[in-house]
Amino acid sequence: MLNWTGHPLVDVGIAVILSFVDKEDPQTVTENDLTVVADFIEREYVRQPLTSYLNVALPNSGFTQPAFSKTPERRFEYAVLVSRYFGGNVETTDEKCVFTGLPTPAIIYNGPSNADFQLGRAYRQHVPMTLGVGNVNFYPNGDSGLPVSAAIMLAFQAFPLGCAKVSGRLLAVHSNDPALTLFFANQFWEGNRSAISMAHAQDSTKLAGRVESMRTLLVQELANAYHHQIERRNAFDDQYISLTAYYLTNMGANPEIAIFSLPSSTIRFLSQAQSADYAPIWNRIVSVAWEQEPTKDKKKRKEGDEPYQPRRNWLYEDIWTLPQNAKRFLKTYFLRRAWKYASLDKGDPRASYSLMREVDLVSWRLTSLFMERIMNMNKEQVEQVRTLADALANYIATENDKSFFRRFATVSKYYQLRLLLIKANTEYARLGNAPFLTLDNFLGVFEEGEEIAYSNWDLSRDLVLIRLVEQLHASGWLSHHQDELDAIADQHDAVLEKEIEEREGTIGE
């Protein structure tokens, strides 16, 4: 009767049906299971708060039209129609459902306010982001409506329950892994069920939405999905799972949908970052990325006010920019450099990141995982970076070359970096030591070919610097040379201040 279709709206609706009856396989769904969902729709969709909530997804339906609200019995009749006609004794047409291949019902409904339609045909009041009754554009053969079976019609009605309400829109999640689709739909349904109960208790017409921003909520729930799945199998480590989020409104004359995707590489990185090997440092980095109460709001706060609740975790927000934004992500979160566009006055903690104060958050292991999963670097490339960084750490500690460390961390031109390394290597060898830098290692990290620097040479430098800082911190060298970190921080602050001034147009005024 039911199976996963690959269509996000249908599959989320099917996932809600499975959540209702505590099942995981749609092929095991029975008519009795569908009846459980139909009972809920007939009871709850015809009253608040769901009649208001459904406006976002199913406007012009019998649940939301003012013409139906004037005659409650017609609203209930509509609920029965779109949720009950899945039995074997229902008259069908020769048309087949586009999702299942099953026959479509032949029931004709004559509702108020120009709502006549055949049950086996789905329109905008049944399926978000489609066209209304009578429109023929974008349908095969100019035939108005979408042929669907009764069970699929029920899934479309259940779809809004498997979404999260965020800033007045619905957020649905679909994955090529049905278990992940089911997890998100179940999480959102459980949240909606609690909100429905609360609305009834408070006699409210509004269904409470989620406080978190859309992107933060998705990554937060993805983290929950990992911990849920790890109890049952090896989570997402060895699977190529992707995730697509649909952020939509079907209201009014301007329905709109935004689509966001997380590739399998990012999901695998996130899952491994939460494993036992990485979780301690990862969780600390995540915890300090939550937005803080803006300064102006703090000044307005009075005793007895509700505690401030952050909406965004900026690391979670920036996850959605990967892998394209890997360079800035690495610099901000793993090298702890303040981001020039962040503002503490607006509650963005990235404005105060500091290698000097947060050196204990620098982790080579986590960075190497990021290099492999997000930057698609192989183990040999990662090892080349590690080898060079370890050699530099040994050189700096042995020779106590504070100047080299400071200049390596702050150099802004590639030729300067190249000369710095050559000069230090030559001086080290002159003192009778084996060179800490080899040609192969240097070329492997910084150059595509002889004297042809990588376009992102500063990214390679930052990768080396992360391992270098971690090693010098672990050896205790940094604790005895805190002034070097201070000097680096001061130089970065000066660059940052200049960039901010340039952005705000204050230079030269």
Measured CA to CA in angstroms, residue 470 lies from 332, 355, 464, 467, 496 at distances of: 16, 11, 10, 5, 23
Give pTM, 2 decimals: 0.88
- Per DSSP, the three-state class of 175 is strand
Q: Name the residue with tokens 């607006």.
A: 346
- For 211-264, the pLDDT digits (tens) are 999 999 999 999 998 887 755 555 555 568 899 999 999 987 788 999 999 999
Residue 496 confidence (pLDDT): 47
* DSSP notation for 242-286: -EEEEEEE--TT--EEEEEEE-HHHHHHHHHHTSTTTHHHHHHHH
Range of lowest pLDDT (149-163, 292-306, 482-496) = 482-496
With 90 as the cut, is the pLDDT of residue 115 above it?
no
Q: Which residue has the higher pLDDT, 197 or 355?
A: 197
User: To the nearest 10°, the Cα dihedral for 377, 381, 383, 388?
Assistant: -130
pLDDT band at 18 (very low <50, low <70, confident <90, very high): very high
179 contacts: CB under 8 Å, gap ≥ 6:
24, 229
Tell me which residue of 10, 12, 13 sits closest to 173, measured CA to CA: 12
- Rounded Cα distance, 103 and 101, in Å: 7
Residue 428 confidence (pLDDT): 86
With 80 as the cut, is the pLDDT of residue 487 above it?
no
- For 165-191, the pLDDT digits (tens) are 999 999 999 999 999 999 999 999 999
